[in-house]
Amino acid sequence: MGKNRQEQKKKAYEFFIKHQRPEEFAKDPLIYYTPERVKEYAESKSLMRIQEGITKRCVELVHAAPPALFLDIGMGCGFASVFLNLKGFRTIGLDINRFFLSYYSLPELNSIQADMREFRLRPRSIDFIISISAVQWILAESDEQKRRQYLKDFSQFCAEILKPQGKLIFQFYPKSDEAMMELGHEFKEIGAFEGNFVIDNPENPKKRRIFLLLDRL
Ligand SMILES: C[S@@+](CC[C@H](N)C(=O)[O-])C[C@H]1O[C@@H](n2cnc3c(N)ncnc32)[C@H](O)[C@@H]1O
């Protein structure tokens, strides 16, 4: 391997880790997101601004126009869904944690308590699937066999509910290049999608944003 190639490869593995990742030490979102943590999250103006900014970028990347229907996976207290609603989109939000779902309890968000690893909706009913800062919880499963099964089921669920030509966009925080590729690989394996990763600010680990952007074939 030439020096340049080695440099490039090294760069690809530099992930910025400011705090210990909750999905890595807690493993279970229901254990980590206690009512106190949910309150702290939901009332943080800075988190709201950051998540809105990411949602805005996602809408731009999928070229969505109102009143398209978004499914917001791992919606939390609804920062992305509220932003989408205000822009005239329709939303269904899904989260495993009832404390998050009931925090603001806005009926227009159509929230459902469910686990993204084993959920079903009406086939071909959704225009866009969005997920902001949530998919890393699946990637944190340390048992490889289980993780692969979760990703396989999750990708099939997404393929099934999207309308033909629908799109999916996930912004997430992989802990490594391998974790990021694993998600892309499992979605590619089922042959229902085409697309790639979009990486904003790739050279700056602090500002880097990673998206998986896929079209339903
Ligand atoms: C960091 S929060 C992000 C919330 C929201 N998307 C936002 O941008 O503010 C991660 C969310 O993923 C949810 N989550 C984690 N694992 C999940 C699963 N298996 N099924 C559904 N939701 C899950 C958590 O409950 C939490 O609300």
Nearest atom in ligand 1 to the alpha carbon of residue 100 is 27
Give the range of the structural domain holding residue 41, as residue numbers without chain letter. 30-216
- Give the pLDDT score at 154: 98
pLDDT band, residue 210 (cuts 50/70/90): very high
**Tokens 């902001």 appear where?**
132
Residue 23 domain flag: no
CATH number at residue 39: 3.40.50.150
Atom of ligand 1 nearest to the CA of 131: 6
- Label residue 13 by pLDDT band (50, 70, 90): very low
Band the pLDDT of 151: cuts 50, 70, 90. Answer: very high
Ligand 1 center from residue 16 Cα (angstroms):
21
Is 21 a domain residue? no
| The predicted structure's pLDDT at residue 190 | 97
How many A from CA of 8 to the centre of ligand 1? 32
Residue of 116, 129, 147, 158 with the most ligand 1 atoms within 8 Å of its CB, for mutation: 116
Residue 169 φ/ψ, nearest 5 degrees? -140, 125
Whole-number Å distance, alpha carbon 25 to ligand 1 midpoint, is 16
CA distances from 147 to 119, 123, 179, 217 (A): 16, 24, 11, 25
**pLDDT reported for residue 155:** 98
At 82, which amino acid appears?
Answer: V
* Per-residue pLDDT at 2 exceeds 80: no
User: In the predicted model, what is the mean pLDDT of the chain?
Assistant: 92
Answer whether residue 3 is part of any domain: no
- Total number of domains constituting the chain: 1
User: What's the mean pLDDT in 113-121?
Assistant: 94
Ligand 1 mean position to 96 CA, how many Å?
7
Query: What's the token pair of residue 93?
Result: 């939000």
